[in-house]
Amino acid sequence: MTRAANLSKIVTDANLEGTLDVTGVLTGTSLDISGNIDVDGITNLDVVDIDGAVDMASTLTVAGAFTSLGIDDNANAVAITIDSSEQIGIGTTSPSQLLHLKSTTNAKPNLLIETENAGANGGRLDFLHKSSSPADEDLLGDITFGGYSDDGTPPSDFARYVMIKAFAADVSNNAEKGRLTFSLHNGASNENNVDVLTLNGDKTGIGTTAPDTLFHLSNTSGDTTMRLTRSNSASTGNNFGTIEFENSADTVLASIKGKSMSGNTEAGLAFSSGGGNTERMRLDNSGNLGIGLTAPTSSLHVLKNSGGEQTVANFSAHNYGDAAATYIQIGTEHGDGSSRIGSINNGDSGGGNTSALVFETHAPSSGVFTERMRIRHDGRVNIPNAYTETTGNSANLFVDTDGRLIRATSSERYKNTITDATHGLAEVLKLRSVTYKGNNDGDTVFGGLIAEEVHKAGLTEFVQYNEANEPDALAYANMVSLCIKAIQELSAKVTALENA
């Protein structure tokens, strides 16, 4: 037992078979050991206060455990333990890792890395995986947050609730990429953690460890769902959530909003675009789609609210070549009874990039569409079955100079200012009956009159004029009344001669 010692007298060797117990204070200016200190038992020091330097040219070997009852904390407990496996324990005498921190106090232990200087950089915690043969997907390190369940038996019921793992995704020289994955316990078993968030290079994945876009959502067990929730009640017109698209100047150029249509119970989608992020389209809570308005009243409601010539809708397909067609189909969901309108490229052999507009209906039980009408690129109208559908009735269709189709009538209900005709036999005798060929009718020969000659005869009521007020056509059917008047006058003359 040594109460005090003067280190200046100890210069060569200290070989203790038992225990060195210093109850006082061991003081000195320097400790210079040129040999070895070999302690087979336990060195237990209450206070070590060295103002000078400790210079050990050889080795200090501790066969057992080296412990301290406190380092300037005056606590009567083991503060630090270094065991024979070179593991350090703080708060435990049985460290299980190179550095093992333990506390029985709530919210302890805490690890603090503090930097106090005027520089711009703080402390750093490095995980270094120094491998002589690095490979892609090497695990560089992980941080685990674990604990026990409420009815488990420690330590077998230990669960890794949350893990943060760092990988070397690509170890190619000058092309290195890292991956950081956040895993959560999914409740299936103690070791079954699911990777929920991955940062891979410049890409972020949720539900996937290999995102191939800047933001990649994946769900291997069902539908992939992203939810935006408004935690407080919404009034009509409020937004439940918004997705915005910005440029590099932080200007919102487009957005999609979940818009309240009726308080907190009904919502629609509002699509906005343009420099002012103006709403362009609205899908309401009834399924009606409005383009150019916010309150659509039909399944598709389009409004172009501006002056001048406007194209409201453009239906097209990358479909070029003779007889290539693009259709709009209208009808039932089953197809039977549907009709369609199509634009057929070069549909009337007009050549070049011309088109014809066709109207087709679905033939009963045939599975095919049949053309019913065609408007050619030059404005001509073809109705295929108009020629085959015949009747013994007289013609009653009139085509006006502006292209209108008008039904011709004869009832007094459709007439006014009715007077007896004055034109008759004398005017008929002025007319010249001719034969001719039409400019668009080939060699077919027709018989008739010339509109200009009928006009000069004063029979303007039978002449049809164009927009320039030029004689253009004749109302041949109406000229029956002229012939009747002429026959009546001729009959009167015959009767008078017979009675003379």
Segments of the chain scoring below 50 in pLDDT? 1-34, 36-37, 39, 42-56, 69-73
Predicted confidence at residue 487, as pLDDT, reads: 95
The verdict on residue 358 lying in a domain is: yes
The residue out of 158, 184, 217 marking a domain boundary is 217
CA distance 182 to 197: 5
Predicted confidence at residue 43, as pLDDT, reads: 47
**Is the same domain home to 204 and 245?**
no
The verdict on residue 229 lying in a domain is: no
Predicted confidence at residue 386, as pLDDT, reads: 83
Residues sharing a CB contact under 8 Å with residue 16, sequence separation 6 or more, in sequence order: 39
Give the phi and the psi of residue 380 in degrees, each rounded to 5. -70, 145
Please write the tens of the pLDDT for every residue from 146-198: 888 777 666 667 778 899 999 999 999 999 999 999 998 877 665 667 888 99
**Is the same domain home to 405 and 371?**
no
> Are 56 and 79 spatial neighbours (Cβ–Cβ below 8 Å)?
no
Give kind and range of the element (H or E) at residue 492. Answer: helix 480-499
**Is the same domain home to 297 and 337?**
no
**Is the same domain home to 267 and 340?**
no
**Is the same domain home to 481 and 412?**
yes
The verdict on residue 94 lying in a domain is: no
**Is the same domain home to 473 and 403?**
yes
Q: Distance between alpha carbon 152 and the CA centroid of its chain, in Å? A: 45
**Encoding tokens for residue 34?**
């040129």
The verdict on residue 205 lying in a domain is: yes
The verdict on residue 378 lying in a domain is: yes
Torsion (CA) 413, 415, 418, 421 in degrees, nearest 10: -120
**Is the same domain home to 272 and 335?**
no
Q: Residue 296 is part of which domain span?
A: 239-302
CA distance 230 to 263: 12
* Residue with the two structure tokens 């200046």: 8
**Amino acid type, 358:** V
Give the phi and the psi of residue 13 in degrees, each rounded to 5. -145, 145
Predicted confidence at residue 193, as pLDDT, reads: 75
CB atoms near residue 200 (< 10 Å):
21
**Is the same domain home to 281 and 357?**
no
> Are 204 and 216 spatial neighbours (Cβ–Cβ below 8 Å)?
yes
The residue out of 302, 333, 352 marking a domain boundary is 302
Please write the tens of the pLDDT for every residue from 89-118: 998 888 999 999 999 899 889 989 889 988
**Is the same domain home to 144 and 194?**
yes
**Among the listed residues 201, 232, 200, 235, the one whose alpha carbon sits nearest the alpha carbon of residue 218:** 200
Predicted confidence at residue 1, as pLDDT, reads: 36
Number of domains in the chain: 4
CA distance 369 to 359: 10
- Give me the sign of the Cα torsion angle 275, 278, 280, 284: positive
**Is the same domain home to 425 and 368?**
no
**What pTM, to 2 d.p., does this model score?**
0.59
> Are 384 and 370 spatial neighbours (Cβ–Cβ below 8 Å)?
no
CA distance 34 to 415: 139
The verdict on residue 352 lying in a domain is: yes
**Is the same domain home to 366 and 437?**
no
Predicted confidence at residue 61, as pLDDT, reads: 55
The verdict on residue 30 lying in a domain is: no
Cα-only R_g, the chain: 51
**Is the same domain home to 342 and 277?**
no
Phi-psi category of residue 365: left, alpha or beta, with phi > 0 → left and psi -120 to 50 → alpha: left
The verdict on residue 78 lying in a domain is: no
DSSP 283-341: E-TTS-EEES-SS--SSEEE---SSSS--------S--STT-EEEEEES-TTSTT-EEE
* Residue with the two structure tokens 């087979």: 40
